[in-house]
Amino acid sequence: MKEKVYCVIPEGVEMDGDFDCLELVKAIYGLKQASRMWNETFDEFVCFMGFEASAFDPCLYIKVVDGHCVLVLVYVDDVLVTGSSLELIAQTKADIKTRFEMTDSGKCTFVLGIELVDESDGSVTMCQRRYVNDILKRFGMDECKATASPVDLSTRLVASSEAANRRSVS
């Protein structure tokens, strides 16, 4: 740890000597520095594995091996690993497990409240249906009649220049 942090000796812990407190030598859960230290440790490790942090998002790490791309995305303490090679994905997960305690939840179907659906054409659809349904339920609208569009289908939209011309003629 960069700063000195002290804690009270927990009740029931026997210490040799006369101590009032202990100096922490590493971050513990709940400490305000803990999440930053975890992120720095994770960043250092994945960069050591050959990943590069994205210039656009420091929580996205990218590695290209023999034309295959592997992506590691971190949100707090959730880590999403994906890529174009199942073998590289498995190897990346195994490498991360050597340093961090990790539970592999398998194929990702939800991330940050967003549902991920694999389509038959190879694309992935992102959907927040569950979130919308939760909001409808919270406001007592879960039994309301659904509509495909919030706008009346007979409404005719015109370009702004066409609308200006109509005003100048009348």
Average pLDDT over the chain reads 85
For residue 58, give every residue at least 6 positions away whose Cβ sits within 8 Å of its Cβ, in sequence order, or none: 43
Reading the block at residue 12, the tokens are 């029931």
Domain presence at residue 127: yes
pLDDT tens readout for residues 92-136: 999 999 999 989 988 889 888 899 998 999 898 999 988 989 999
Decide if 42 is inside a domain.
no
Check whether 163 has a pLDDT greater than 70: no
* Kind and range of the H or E run holding 45: helix 34-48
The residue-averaged pLDDT of 7-21 equals: 78
Is 102 a member of any domain?
Answer: no
Q: What is the domain range of residue 122? A: 109-148
Q: Is pTM beyond 0.95 here?
A: no
Q: Strands 78-83, 68-75: parallel, antiparallel or unpaired by DSSP?
A: antiparallel
User: Is 20 within a domain?
Assistant: no
Rounded to whole angstroms, how far apart are CA atoms 110 and 97? Answer: 21
Would residue 129 count as lying in a domain?
Answer: yes
Domain count, the chain: 1
Token pair belonging to 33:
């520095």
